[in-house]
Each structure stands twice: as structure tokens, then as C-alpha cells.
Amino acid sequence: MKDVYVSGFTDRVSPEAPVPIVRVAKTEYKAGGAANVAVNIATLGLPVTLLSIVGNDDSASEIQQLLSCHKVDCFFIKSPNFETIQKHRIISQHQQILRLDYESHDPKLNFQPEDYSKLLENFEKLILSKTFSAVIFSDYKKGVLECCNSLIMNAKKHNIPVFVDPKGDEFDIYQGANFLKPNIKEFENIVGVSTNKKEFNSKANRLKKSLKIKNLLITKGSCGMTLFHEEEMPVDIPAENSREVFDVTGAGDTVLATVVAAYVSKFSILDSVKIANSSAGIVVGKFGTANVGLSELKTVFKNSQKILSIRQKPDEPKESI
């Protein structure tokens, strides 16, 4: 997706309607959606390849240019019937007052069978042509991951760990993934609301078992995160509240990207989640679609030198899709 931020100042109300007038000072373009996950990983120093379906339009070209600035390799399948999704945010005095979404009511209706065939074909080619340490599926329920089951099976066939950020009311398509990261609303949408901690843990374990997921991370905003990993007892990780929450846009993307970056850098899943939790505490203190750099993590983990090993040598393999 293309994220557009139109920022300015408001000091009067329109005489035409009871709405504020924004005097535009600047317009910024950022790579959003799954592209934001890729940028987050690249910012942490790992080589990353992004595969997706986009429209055959200027927005797709602009996203690719933004990604190239972050040294993200792009493999875009351009569908002639699909319009690349845009989200325009109108900002006044650092507050979002309006968001304009440019997309059809059900974007997946614009995809053709050949789009999915090309997606599967290119995924297989990438897997065979390079050595990947992880695969990420960032699902925004826009239709691209309708064939998610096939993609996961393909990755697992090559023994590549699969990390998923899910969405929607159908989690069966993520079956067999190594790591699933729903937020609390997405989790409750699948299993229902829990009245106590025991019920919450029970529902999480049942979901984890039914989907054959090795690790389930449920993010809960200001209430932190809970990790259900392997056969261990669940671990509650409190939110990092040392920073003021300024904007939660893309925080989930940062969490997933940091978990993967730490994991492929040889941290355990638990330690990777703890690092990601700190990253989330940093990114919510920023405005808009943002990311966390190594220098910021270095400040948080002053006593840890291992976090600095995330940056890979140029001749080392690509890390994630």
C-alpha cells in the first residue's frame, strides 16, 4: 500500500461547511502494509525480498522506488484489473483528522486466477534461487494471500520457518506456520472473549494446537503481549510504557519484523519477542508509518552486544520474503 501523509496547520473553520481548513505544509509518501514490514527488516540491517501483487499504476511504481531507497528487492506482479491501495492521512498539528482510503470495497474481486498462478510460480522460483532464513506473510486481507496455504506448504517443504501476521475470521489458511501473531481483537474474533486468564490461556492453547502452530504471540496493546511457545508455559510480557504513545500506526509490523530479525540472528523465540516488545515501545513514540533502527535498539539494550550482530555481511544469504 502507499501511505500518504498530508500535513499542515488549522486555525479556522471552512465557511462552506463545519469542517477545519488545513493549510498544507508538506506531503510525504511511505511504503505501507506488507511493504512496511520489509522496510522495518531492512532498517535493522537484513537483506529482504518483497513479493506481492500490485496494480499496473503509478502508485505501484512509487512504492517500488520507496523500497529501493531502503535496498529492498521487489518482485511485483502487476494485475491489470487491480488498483494499488492508497491511504491518505490528513494531519493537522500532529493529529490525524481524516483518512481517505483509495480501494475497492472488496479488492480480491479484482484479482484474476493468473495473478495467483504467477504469485505461486514466482514464490517457488525465489525459494529455489536463493537461500532464505525465514518467510513472512503479512496479511491485510486485500486478496493477495488467498492461496496462503499453498505458500506455507511450499516454504515448509524447503524447511524455511514461516512467520504470519494474520487478519480476518479464517485462520485455517495459516495452518502449519511456525509463528502466528494476532492482536487481541483478531484473536477474540476467532475464539471469543475470555472472562479470565485461565480461559484465555486455554483458548490460546486450543487454537495453537488446532492450527499446528509452534509459537503463538498475542499482542494486547498497553497490556503487553503473551507468548505461547513450543510446549512451554505461556509468558506474559508487559508493555514498555516508558515512552508516550503517540501513534500506533504500523506497530504490529514493527513487532513482527523485529521478531524475525532477532530470530534469524540466532536469538531464541522468547528473547526475540522481548526485543520486539521494546521495539514496539519505541515505534509508538513516533508519528505515522515508522520503523526502528539498530542505533535505537542499541540505546535500549546498552548491555547487549548481540543485538548489533543483526547486520549481516553483504555476501550472506537473503533473510526473508
Residues with catalytic roles = 253
DSSP symbol at 320? B
Nearest CA among 139, 140, 156 for reference residue 148:
139
Task: Name the phi and psi angles at 88, rounded to 5.
Answer: -100, 120
Q: How far is CA 199 from the centre of its chain?
A: 28
Residue linked to cell 479488492? 107
> Which positions ≥6 away from 64 have C-beta within 8 Å?
74, 76
Phi, psi of 247 (to 5 degrees): -160, 130
**Torsions phi, psi for 227 (to 5 deg):** -110, 125
Close Cβ partners of 184 (under 8 Å, ≥ 6 residues apart): 218, 219, 220, 221, 223
Q: What are all long-range contacts of 166-169, with beta carbons under 8 Å and residues at least 24 apart?
A: 166/139, 167/139, 167/140, 167/141, 168/139, 168/141
Q: How many CB atoms lie within 10 A of CB 168?
A: 13
Instruction: Please report, for the chain, how many H helices and E strands are present, in that order.
Output: 9, 12
Q: Which among 48, 54, 49, 50 is positioned nearest to 34, based on CA atoms? A: 50
What is the pairing mode between strands 73-79 and 225-229? Answer: unpaired
Q: Taking every pair of C-alpha atoms in the chain, what is the biggest distance, in angstroms?
A: 63
